[in-house]
Structure 1
């Protein structure tokens, strides 16, 4: 009996050793090279936007695709005796660039849908937001910011009676909206768009007052006409943008992302396709973006 037990144990040990010998050990993972590590770290830490330094000395960029913000509001800059007026900046213009801009948002339907389309097409854009809508939809504003689009100031509630013709009222509305935006995303925009545009609304007092407060205003040179009366359709917007960009290599395109602009959402994929087919790249509005006129 003892001999039989010993034989059984010996056979089991032999089989176990054979099984272990038959296994091929997994090769050790090759250590990541320092170059790979550096590239990964750079990708992780690459800035998604530029924050102005105290004296605005770091704003002369060579790319149209990097949003620019300030870590201070105008009130905070004045309290700290920091400059509020931007230095002379050379407009950036290189190649054929389209700037998709969306006014009057954010809302909780059309703006997210537009963001989805932009993400699918790897296209940046600029959103000129009102303070009132930012207060209502802070999570959408945070998403715009997190997805590396530019945010601009479009007044608190688009009320012309508060904005025109008194510059003090205009600045008050902009600074109120600055505070709201900064409370939500931690920085405030340096760019703004005057509701209704500059023509017919600004007096001679507006440009120097805006410059003294560090604001840069941009209108547009291509309009989708998606806010026109008569309930225009997506195909109308596509045709408008297609025809107006035929002979341009620089296009600031006006659209809207607020409630009631579902047709803009429908039109956007085809608008992007047409612009890409014409050889446009895409940028975001910054203080260095050339003026449209």
Structure 2
């Protein structure tokens, strides 16, 4: 009888042990499922985003090349809206932009507001001069996306002149591009690096598509210094880097609807 009692006790202990293992396995499976769901949800939330790094007013002999090095180190492309007079001063830099696969767009030749926004003809003359400077160096037409100095709705120019420029550009199948993230690196001669970083991170926080305005002119050392951290932030938050030389018509329509492109 005593032996039977011991057998029953051992059997009961074994059953309790097996139940504990099964419950632990079930808990682990449930936890893994929850973790996987959280990770997938996290990725779905983050990884359906895109960013366009854009640089205006260059190329400059000191900062453009540094920016190219940073972009190359991070395997990232960007769009450069160049000034024709700077292209003529720094022809080798434009060739470097092209050789490294950057998208090159027109930002006018002179960047002189009073001149280019005097009337439609003045803008178009300046535009064509910039276009010619680009084409004679890289032997290809710049992308069909331009950035108007000060933006397409700048307050320093007559609205009627701006409207005529916009209409004419679109009639020529040229898109004018603004931005929805401003680095504020043009607020003063030299803006603190931390301010540029914080400004971009804050403005990108809730955006699915970010078009970031920066400058690669002579005095924009802090823009260069902030760029590695900005790129790291964008990558960590699921942004895919895009340029304005591979947009589909559907994407153009979406950007126009959001006011980033062809704003009226």
Shorter-chain TM-score: which interval? 0.7 to 0.9
Partner residue of 2:228 out of 235, 253, 269: 269
Cα distance change on mapping 1:95 and 1:167 into 2, 3 Å:
farther
Matches within 5 A, 1:123-272: 123-189=76-142, 190-199=144-153, 200=155, 201=157, 202=159, 203-229=162-188, 231-272=190-231
Partner of 2:16: none
Matched with 2:10 is none
* Count of residues in correspondence between the two structures: 200
Matches for 1:16-55 after TM superposition, within 5 Å: none
How far apart, CA to CA, are the structure 1 residues paired with 2:190 and 2:134? 31
Q: Give the drift of 1:162.
A: 1.4
Provide the rounded CA distance (Å) in 1 between the counterparts of 2:118 and 2:206: 35
Question: 1:145 deviation in Å?
Answer: 0.6
**Where in structure 1 are there 5+ consecutive unaligned residues?**
1-93
Runs of 4+ residues deviating >6 angstroms: none
1:61-99 alpha-carbon deviations (Å, 9 max, x no partner): xxxxxxxxxxxxxxxxxxxxxxxxxxxxxxxxx931100
**Secondary structure, in 3 states, of the residue corresponding to 1:197?**
coil
CA distance in 2, matches of 1:224, 1:158: 20
Q: SS where residue 155 of structure 1 aligns?
A: coil
What does 1:101-112 align with in structure 2 at a 5 Å threshold?
101-112=54-65
For the residues of structure 2 that align with 1:95 and 1:166, how far apart are their CA atoms?
Answer: 42
Q: Distance in 2 between matches of 1:95 and 1:124?
A: 18
State the shift of 1:229 in Å.
2.5
The aligned residue for residue 48 of structure 2 is 95
Kept after mapping to 1: 8 A contact 2:189/2:220: no
Which one has the bigger helix percentage? 2
State the TM-score, normalized to the length of structure 1: 0.65
C-alpha spacing 1:167/1:108, structure 2 compared with 1 (3 Å): same
Distance 1:265 1:226 in 2: 10
Is the CA contact 2:190–2:221 (under 8 Å) kept in the aligned structure 1? no
Give me the whole-angstrom Cα distance separating, in 2, the residues matched to 1:130 and 1:231: 20
RMSD across aligned positions (CA)? 1.6
Cα separation, 1, equivalents of 2:188 and 2:62: 22
Decide whether the 8 Å contact of 2:48 with 2:238 is kept in 1.
Answer: no
Q: What TM-score do the two structures reach when normalised by structure 2?
A: 0.72
SS, match of residue 229 in structure 2: helix
Q: Which residue of 2 aligns with 1:119?
A: 72
